[in-house]
Amino acid sequence: MNAVEEEERSAPTERAPAKVLVKSYGCQMNVYDATRMADLLGREGYAETNSEEDADLVILNTCHIREKAAEKIYSELGKLAIAKRALNAQGRDMKIVVAGCVAQAEGEEVLKRQRAVDLVVGPQSYHRLPELLRQAKKGARVADTDFAVEDKFRTLPAPSRAQIRTRGVSAFVTVQEGCDKFCSFCVVPYTRGAEASRPVTEIIAETKRLVDAGVCEITLIGQNVNAYRGLDVDGRESNLARLLDRLARIEGLTRLRYTTSHPVDMAQELIDSHGAIPKLMPYVHLPVQSGSDRILKAMNRKHGADAYLSIVEKIRKVRPDVALSSDFIVGFPGESDADFEATMALARGVGFASSFSFKYSPRPGTPAADRDDQIEEKVKSERLAALQALLEEQRQAFNAATVGREVDVLFEKPGRHEGQIAGKSPYMQAVHVEGPTELIGREASVKIIAAGSNSLGARLMSEEAKA
């Protein structure tokens, strides 16, 4: 054997990087958390993958807001357990992590119910993932669902420009977490903790990093985003309206959005922002849940139907073209036919551009789950079908009303067909046009020419991007 052959034989084989698959369920906060987990693990040598077969680590970032959401996770875990056994039989060492709100709410129960799970980590603890994974790799089965004392956002590493670029031109930025409202149907205060806001300077710095890497649209998110009360550099408390104003001054940022709001925190200063900040898109997601004052009181929503309608009127006064969306729960314990009709009447009176509606789902540990006047499943299904039919009719009417209008579209990706590009209108509608891929990542003016069931067809007014 000559010296070259000896050197080649003794050279270490370069190992392929470990791969991580993060599957996120539920709210936009979970989508944001999933990206931050991927960023964090990228620093530990993990490359992202979309394939379970390629993954050395699978993280299910879970939602606990409804029973079906939680049960879906256990079903998914059953499939992953089979895949894990097969891969490990081939000499692989796949690890399975359950993160998010199911992890926070059920903790040790997840480990007991599914033996294939290696690690359970709550939404306030995922910044400790690297250390927890090291414990899991030593054979420990770990559950970390403590509410962290330290600020996880200061602990998490900033994503690289390359990581940001792979995720497109729109991004979420968490500004507020947790909830102090304690709606009687909701587990969020128990899984996400009390309301807490990030400092203004941290949010500005994160937004600038995203914009510098090519992001054009930022959506500020929080469980109650309009309850934002972060400290500014002068040590004084800021609010969401003032934060939006600061962010709107960032050069290169085209669009601003925020979600999800609570009616109780919808202050006039924030409403006025929709008329004063051109970059703030005319779209407001404002959950009402019910149109019945009696049910709203039982839900502990702290607002009535008239208060909600007053907010809608104020928003439309400063921004007449605003698109409104909402959340509804039907079949809440004790809901009568008259209560449900009040919900239908509120929906008819507002006219929503889009909405999300669900049957009430009892969540263990919440006050509403213990009530003895639960509604029959058949009645809940009938009411949901009636409400969804009305809301869908309103959605289609809103879309049809945009035909013939000129709007600006932020193009995000290639369309469904060759030669097409796709993006979002200011009103969160999907729009498809025939156009060059050079417009992806830019905003351009289009004329809406057709309304389909789930998207709009448009024609470019000019192939020149605005910015």
pLDDT digits (tens, 9 = 90+) for 320-331: 999 999 999 999
d(CA 262, CA 224): 6
Output the pLDDT for position 413. 93
Contact call for residues 189 and 434 (beta carbons, < 8 A):
no
Q: Per-residue pLDDT for 414 more than 90? A: yes
Q: Are 345 and 291 in contact (CB under 8 A)?
A: yes
- pLDDT surpasses 90 at 287: yes
CB distance 446 to 409 below 8 Å: yes
Strand 170-174 with 420-424, pairing: unpaired
pLDDT band at residue 465 using 50, 70 and 90 as cut-offs = very low
Taking alpha carbons only, the member of 381, 252, 263, 270 closest to residue 319 is: 270
**Residue (of 41, 216, 236) closest to 132 by Cα position:** 41
Q: What are the respective helix, strand and coil percentages of the chain, to the nearest 5?
A: 40, 20, 40
Respond yes or no on whether the N-terminal peptide bond of residue 366 is cis (omega within 30° of 0): no
**Where does 198-322 show beta strands of DSSP type E?**
217-221, 255-259, 283-285
* Tens of pLDDT, residues 225-243: 999 999 998 889 999 999 9
Each residue of 186-234: pLDDT tens digit?
Answer: 988 888 888 999 999 999 999 999 999 999 999 999 999 999 999 998 8
Which of 79-83, 164-168, 292-296 holds the top average pLDDT? 292-296
Q: pLDDT tens across 144-176, in order? A: 877 665 567 777 767 777 767 777 899 999 999
Q: Residue 95: pLDDT above 90? A: yes
Rounded CA gap, 66 and 287, in Å?
16
Tokens of 244: 């939006």
Average pLDDT score over the chain: 90
End-to-end CA distance of the chain: 63
Give the orientation angle of helix 305-318 with respect to helix 337-350, to 10 degrees.
Answer: 10
Side-chain-facing half-sphere of 137: CA atoms under 13 Å: 10
Q: Is 445 exposed, middle or buried (0-12, 13-18, 19+ CB in 10 A)?
A: middle
Confidence of residue 429 (pLDDT cuts 50, 70, 90): very high
Q: Quick one: CA dihedral 403, 404, 408, 409, positive or negative?
A: positive
What's the gap between Cα 438 and its chain centre? 28
Confidence of residue 251 (pLDDT cuts 50, 70, 90): very high
Average pLDDT of 112-123?
90
- Which residue bears the tokens 């046009």? 433
Please report the pLDDT score of residue 283 as a whole number. Answer: 98
Check residue 8 and give its pLDDT. Answer: 43
Q: Quote the CA–CA distance of 128 and 41 in Å, as a whole number.
A: 10
In this prediction, residue 16 carries a pLDDT of 66
Q: How far, in Å, are 35, 123, 126, 143, 327 from residue 132 at the CA level?
A: 18, 14, 9, 9, 36
Mean pLDDT across the stretch 73-77? 89
Tokens of 414: 């290639």
Lookup result for tokens 């392929």 = 16
Tell me the β-bridge partners of 342: none
Is the pLDDT confidence value at 50 over 80?
yes
Q: Which of 347, 357, 408 lies closest to 384 in space, CA to CA?
A: 357
Q: Is 349 left (phi over 0), alpha (psi -120 to 50) or beta?
A: alpha
CA angle 168, 429, 175 (to 5 degrees): 55
HSE at residue 290, side-chain half, CA atoms within 13 A, is 31
* Band of residue 362 on the pLDDT scale cut at 50, 70, 90: very high
In this structure, the strands spanning 176-177 and 196-197 are: antiparallel
Reduce the secondary structure of 69-106 to three states and give it as a string.
HHHHHHHHHHHHHHHHHHHHHCCCCCEEEEEEHHHHHH
Token digits of residue 139: 């054979």
Closest-CA residue to 184 (of 24, 16, 368): 368
Residue 247 has pLDDT above 80, yes or no: yes
Alpha-carbon distance values, 385 to 60, 344, 381, 382 (Å): 30, 12, 6, 5
Q: What does the pLDDT read at residue 255?
A: 98
